[in-house]
A and B are shown apart, each in its own frame.
Chain A
Amino acid sequence: MCYDVAIIGAGVIGALTARELSRFALNTVLLEATNDVAMGATKANSAIVHAGFDAKPGTLKAKFNVKGCEMMPSVCKELSVPYKNNGSLVVAFSPEEMDHVRALYERGLANGVPQMSILNEEELKAMEPSLAPEACGALLAASAGIVCPYELTIAATENAVTNGVEFRRNSKVEGIDFENGVFTLHTPRGDLQAKYVINCAGVHSDDVSRMVGDDSFTIIPRRGEYFILDKAVGNMVSHTIFQCPTAMGKGILVTPTVDCNLMIGPTAEDLPKEDEDNTATTPKGLAQVKKFACKSCPAVSTRNAITSFTGVRAHPDVDDFILGPSKVNAQFIQGAGIESPGLSSAPAIAVYLAHVVAEAIGDVKANESFNGERKDVFRFRHATDEERAAAIAKNPAYGRIICRCETITEGEIIDAIRAPAGARDVDGVKRRTRAGMGRCQGGFCGSKVVEILARELGCDINDITKFGSGSNILFNKTK
C-alpha cells in the first residue's frame, strides 16, 4: 500500500497537521521515532501562546504566530485541551527598557497584533503586585495565553487517529528513497511508501531533509532549562511575565501554567549537533534560571520546585520557519525550523501544510465522517460531586484514586492507555492524566501506574518503561 501522505514527527506540528489532513479523504500516516507523541521540543517548552509582537514584520513567524494565537482557543475547545487567555506582559526594569517595550508595541502593530497596550508603573503593579520594585512599565498583550503543549499534541493525534490517520510509534525514519514519484521511507519497523512527505521532525528536520537531498538549512539545537514550582505559589503572577528580549530569545519568563503551577525559565544555550537529544539539565543553567527569575519576581524561590527539565529547541540557521514544498522535491513538504513561536503558530501552520498537500494532490474530497470534536475526557479533579458520583456508578474505577497529589483515578489512567494512540509507558500516562506530576513526583503512584500499564497492555511489569526502549524501571524478581 502507498500512503498519500506520510508525516514525519508527532510533535505539535505533525500532530495538528495530521488532524488537518484528516479533514480530507486521504491515506495519511503519522510516524514517530519514539514511544509516544510530543517527545521532543513539544513536551519541554514555555507552553505560551504568544500574541505575535516579537517576530520581525513580514516573516513567516510573524504571520503564523498572529494567526495561530487567534485560532488557539477554538482548537483547544474542540480538542478539550486546557487553554487560558491570561495575557502577557513584557516588563521594563529601567527607562531604557521602556524604549524597547515601545518598539515591541510598534512591531506588534505592524504584525497585526490586537489588544495591546502600554502600562505605566502604577497600572502594572496594580495588575501584578509580586513584580520587583524596579519594574517601571510594560507591554500588555491581552490576546496571549497559556496552553499545555503535550496535551494539545496528544489530543490532536487522538482526534486524527479517530478520523482515520494511522499512527506508528518507534518508527524513526532512517532513510528515504524517491523513485517514480513515490517516496520509500525506511524505518526499524519496516519500509513504507508515500506520495507526499511532510517533514515535522523538529531538531532532526535538517537530517530528514538531507535524506531527499535538501540541505538548504541546518538546525542548531538550543537548550532551555526550566523549573516547575508547587501549586502553592502558582498564583504569584496571573500574566505571563517576560523580560525584555535579547538576541538569544525572550529571556527568563515567570508564568502560571494551565495546571496552576508556576514555571520559570528558559535559558538559551546553543549545543553541538550531536547533543540534539540531550535533555539534561545543568548546574549552570538551573542557577541562571533562579537568578533571572528573581529579577522579575523576587519572591520566586526554588525551595518550592517540584521538578526541573530541559527542552531542546530546533533553531534554524535561516532564522525563520521553513514551510512549504522543498526546492529539491516538490512532493517533500517542509514543516521545519519550528522554534518559538512555534507552539503559538502550530494551528495555523497545520492548516497551511495540509492545504499545500491537498492542493498539490488536487481534487481532494472531504472526509465525510470527519469529526473535529475530541470525545470529552473525564477528569475527576475537575468534576462536580454529582458528575463524580455518576461516573463512579457507571465505572467504579473512577472511584479509586491512584495519584493522591493530583487526584487522578484508576479509570482515567485506563482511559489514557486505551485511547487512540494511547499511553504505552509511565511518562505517557503522566502526560495524559497528570498522575505523577504532583508534589511527590510519582513516589506513591509510580508503582501502581506500572501495575496498571502491565495489566492493560498484557505484559510483565519488568517490561514497562518510563519512556520507551531502554528506560525500564524494574529488573528481575527478588530472591
Chain B
Amino acid sequence: MLNYDLVVVGGGPAGMAAALKAKECGVERIIILERAETLGGILEQCIHSGFGLTYFKEELSGPEYAARFIDMVEKTDIVVKCDTMVLDIDENNLVTAVNKKDGLLKIQAKAIVLAMGCRERPRGALEIAGTRCSGIMTAGTAQKYVNLDGYMPGKKVVILGSGDIGLIMARRMTLEGAEVKVVCELMPYSGGLNRNIVQCLNDYNIPLRLSTTVVETHGKDRLEGVTIAQVDDHLQPIESTKEYIECDTLMLSVGLIPENELTKNVGIAIDRVTNGAVVDEMRQTDHKGVFACGNVLHVHDLVDFVTMESQLAGQGAADYILGNAPAEAVYVNTTTGNGVRYLVPQRVNVKNPNDVKLYFRVGKIYKGAKVVLEIDGRIISSKKRPKLAPGEMENVIISAAELAKMDENSTITVRVEE
C-alpha cells in the first residue's frame, strides 16, 4: 500500500489546479491519477481558441491552456500516474486504482480531491425513435475522432442540442468540409455561450432552430436522415411541423452529466440539481477530507472558472491536511430563491475569514432583471443585469464582513427579481 497526503482523482484542468494549489500551500506528497494517456482532460481535444481570457487574460486553445498547467505540474514533485483508473474510494480514504504497469494500486490518502469531470448525455436518455444504425454519436465523441484521431465521422451533419460542444463541432465539421445542415435546440433558447452562437453558427450561416427536436432517425446500416419537428410549450413535438432532413450523421450535444459514480460509492451527498456533491465554500463534501471541483461538481461554461474553483479545493485540502482549517465550523445552507436553479457551494462555513463567491444558474432567460442576495432577510446586494441566461454561469459575493455577522441560524438566499 502507498501513502499520500493528497490523492487527486483526475488530471484535467480541475485536478491539476487543485494539486498545484495544494503544493503551493505546502502539502508534501501529492499524486494525480488520470485515466487517459496524458494529463489535460477534455482540453486536449478542444483545439479551438477562447480559453484563458479570464484567468490568463489572453486567448489560448484548449491544449495550450492545459500545457501551461502540465508544465507547472512537471516542475513540481507531484507524482502523476496516467492510464490509471480509480476503481473505488472507501470511507477511510483508501483509494483503489488500476493500470497496466503497477497492476492494482492501493493508496491511503489523508485527503482526496475528486476531479473526474463529466460525460455527455447519450441518445438513449432522449427517447428518439428509430433505428440504431451507425452515424449517431455525441458531439464530444465526434470531436475526439476529428481532432485527436484525424478521421471524419460524417459528411452531412445534423446537430441536436446547442450546448457549447455542439456549437463548436458545427464550426469544426464545416471547416473540415462537412455540410452542417442545422442545429436543433429543444428549448426556446440556446444552452451555449452567446459568443459560440455568433462565432460558430452565424459566421458560417448554419441555421439554429429553437424549440425544435429530432423525433426519429432513419437508415438501416448508416444513418440516412432524421425527422425533426417543432415542439409545443410542453416540449411535445407538433405533428404538422415534421420535416425530413437527409444526413449521414446526427451529433448530440444535449447536456453533460457529472461523473459521480465514485462519489456516490463513498456515500457522499449529491445535489439533485447539479448532480454533483454537496460542498462548502472550500469545496469540501460532507465526507471529511474529500473535496470536489470542476465539472464533476457542476458543469462550467469556461475552464477559467474551473481553475479558480479547483484552486479553492486545493487550498481547502491543504488546510485540512496541514491542520490550518478554521478550528470551528458553523454551516449555513445557501437557498435558491425565485429563478435560481442551483447554488454552489450549497453550504458556507461562516467562520471562514474570506469572501465567498456563490455560483449559480438561472432557469430561463431574463432581460434587465436584478440578482438579489439576501442574508437574514436583509438585502445585501441587488444588481441589475442586462441579460441572464441558463447557458451562462453567474455569481454573487458574500463579503468576509457579512460572514462575520452570521451564526448558525442565519439564512442566505439568492433570487432573481424581474
Contact = CB atoms under 8 A, between A and B. Distances in A.
Contact of A401 (B85, B122, B124, B152): B85
Contacts of B176: 478-479
Interface string A290-317: 0000000000001101111100000000
A3 B124 CA distance: 44
A478 B151 contact: yes
B120 A392 contact: no
A443 B124 contact: no
Interface stretch (B67-75, B99-107, B292-300, B338-346): B99-107
B137 A446 contact: yes
B82 to A, nearest CB: 11
A77 B382 CA distance: 68
Give the interface size bracket for A toward B: 35 or more
B152 A475 contact: yes
22 contacts: A228-B124, A277-B220, A278-B131, A283-B129, A283-B216, A305-B124, A307-B124, A388-B104, A389-B103, A399-B99, A404-B259, A405-B261, A407-B85, A407-B87, A440-B122, A443-B140, A447-B141, A447-B145, A468-B221, A473-B134, A476-B152, A478-B176
Interface stretch (A60-68, A413-421, A458-466): A458-466
Interface string A441-479: 111101100010000000001100111111111111111
Interface string A171-202: 00000000000000000000000000000000
Nearest to B151: A474
Nearest to B142: A447
Given A447-B141, A478-B150, A441 B103 contact: no
Given A283-B237, A401-B35, A443-B138, 4 more contacts: A280-B131, A280-B217, A400-B100, A470-B221
Interface of B: 35, 83, 85, 87, 96, 98-104, 119-120, 122-125, 127, 129-135, 137-138, 140-141, 144-146, 149-155, 176-177, 215-218, 220-222, 237, 257, 259, 261
A129 interface: no
B131 A389 contact: no
Interface string A265-299: 00000000000011111110110000000000000
B402 to A, nearest CB: 39
B280 to A, nearest CB: 26
A279 B131 contact: yes
B404 to A, nearest CB: 42
10 smallest A-B Cβ distances: which pairs? A470-B221, A307-B124, A441-B122, A466-B134, A401-B85, A396-B100, A392-B103, A471-B134, A471-B221, A474-B151
Chain B residues touching A, majority SS: mixed
A460 to B, nearest CB: 10
Contact of B149 (A309, A396, A440, A447): A447
A372 B85 CA distance: 36
B204 to A, nearest CB: 16
A383 to B, nearest CB: 10
A235 to B, nearest CB: 15
A475 B155 contact: yes
A461 B35 contact: no
Contacts of B259: 404
Contacts of A476: 151-152
A52 to B, nearest CB: 32
B125 A471 contact: no
A444 B142 CA distance: 10
A475 B35 contact: no
Contacts of B145: 447, 474
A397 interface: yes
Contacts of A309: 132
A388 B97 CA distance: 11
A393 interface: yes
Contacts of A478: 146, 150-152, 176
A431 interface: no
Contact of A305 (B125, B131, B137): B125
A168 interface: no
Contacts of B120: 440, 443
Contacts of B237: 283
